[in-house]
Amino acid sequence: MDLLCVGLNHRTAPVDVREKLCFSREELREALPALRSGAFSECVLVSTCNRTEAYAVSPSGEPRPERLRDFLVDFKGARQAARPGHFYALRSGEAAKHLFELASGLDSMVLGDVQILGQVKDAFSLAAELSTSGLLLNRLFQTAFHVGKRSRAETGIGEGAVSVSFAAAELAAKIFERLDQKRVLLIGAGETGELTGRHLAGRGVRDLLITNRTRGKAEEVAGKLGGTAVDFDALHTHLRRADIVISSVSAPDYVLRAEDVRRAMGERERDRGPLFLIDIGVPRNIDPLADEVGNVFLHDIDALQRIVDQNLDKRTREAAKVRTIVEEELAAFTRWHLSLAAGPTIRELTELFEEIRRSEVEKHAGRFGERDRELLDVVTRRVLGRILHAPITGLKNGGNGTDEETLAKISAVRTLFGLDRGGER
């Protein structure tokens, strides 16, 4: 019995190949049972925009990674695009390690990305629902979730904004006390600008105003983000009322001059809180001199990128700690996996009973005469032998410890007699 992982990701395959091998949820529902009825006794499929991976257990004989690969390619009809070189194939410990690294964010496109753990959880719960995962994969994925959880709790691998839009939203939270009183003005329809607006809306700002030279575009974005479209001509009026301005316009000149900002700050109607200007445009939309105006905080795309880079550096430094966690959990998983062989289990079971027998005989030996003691020893040994005969034969006859049924038996025996607890002691 062996564990197998076959897949491709953003490092091994270009996006046009990855998208051809991307499984929808419906396709997964169809593929998982089909894969299991083939040569594999257990399987889980993880498919996101950056990767498609199959985890499977082959019950007997030589594991055949190419069969797993062919299944993926044929199911998606992607013979044309996908080449064997796009795939990686990992076995046993290597496969387990890979999944643990995946769950901890070490293998993500952006180091420490938090999304991946949720995606792995979804993939596993679908397999569990369809009963295509069994003893081995259940334990493997549960351990992987534990790795993910420990990495977040014990290291800083998931900390700090690692995208420009998120960095801007985090900065806003460090400038303002509460965002639910604040008004955001989004100028232009650039993608990053829209994303920043979305993050801020997610943090519960009071108002989101969207303006664009083309009114229709502003309305479109407003519809998507749940904001209000306003006239571009009234930009300066809205500037006076805004607390946060996001600008992502492609224009050769400044959309906001330092003078505009200075005047707006002087004419503000409401409280005199800070004004946070986020300039995502290239070339820049806001005159850098606006940063000199009192209580104005201007961050352009380079400043935000600097924050992202610092956070990525921090995450890279944390990666070593995460690797230690992966190694620890891998060692524990391997111990458990090895213990599932029939031989060691029979030996441990016999040792456990013999230990109990010996200690009881020693405790009561004083009540017996010299002769009787020998007899006592022989009799108890026989009793023990007869008690253990049936279970040991059952374990031995299960074959070479390859099929699901034997594994379940071994696992049950180990749990019932507390063998794993004893092993750790």
Residues binding another protein (CB under 8 A): 171, 173-177, 265-266, 272-274, 291, 294-295, 297, 299, 303-304, 306-307, 310
* Residues 186 and 194: beta-carbon distance below 8 Å: yes
Scan for tokens 């643990």, then name that residue. Answer: 100
Nearer to another protein, 100 or 297 (CB): 297
DSSP annotation string for 84-102: GGG-EEEEHHHHHHHHHHH
Q: In the complex with another protein, which residue's Cβ is closer, 174 or 363?
A: 174
Min. distance of Cβ 286 from another protein in angstroms? Answer: 15
Question: Exposed, middle or buried, 415 (CB in 10 Å: 0-12/13-18/19+)?
Answer: exposed
Backbone angles phi, psi at 3, to 5 degrees: -95, 140
Amino acid at 407: L
What is the closest distance, in whole angstroms, from the C-beta atom of residue 313 to another protein in the complex?
12
**Least Å from the CB of residue 147 to another protein:** 22
Whether 49 is catalytic: yes
Q: Under a CB-based contact definition with an 8 Å cutoff, are residues 84 and 69 in contact? A: yes
- Give strand pairing partners of 57: 3, 42
| Marked catalytic residue, from 5, 22, 43, 49 | 49
What is the C-alpha to C-alpha distance for residues 345 and 413, in angstroms, rounded to an integer? 8
Work out how close the CB of 253 gets to another protein at its nearest, in angstroms, rounded to a whole number: 25
Q: What does each C-alpha distance from 380 to 145, 246, 363, 365 come to in angstroms?
A: 46, 83, 14, 12
Q: Which residue reads 């001059």 in tokens?
A: 257
Q: Choose between 114 and 379: whose C-beta lies nearer to another protein.
A: 114
174 or 425, CB closer to another protein? Answer: 174
Cβ atoms of residues 277 and 287 within 8 Å: no
Judged by CB, which is closer to another protein: 272, or 363?
Answer: 272
Q: Give dist(CA 176, CA 278) in Å, integer.
A: 14
CB 171, min distance to another protein, A: 7
Tokens representing residue 373 in the block: 């003691």
Give the residue numbers marked as catalytic.
49
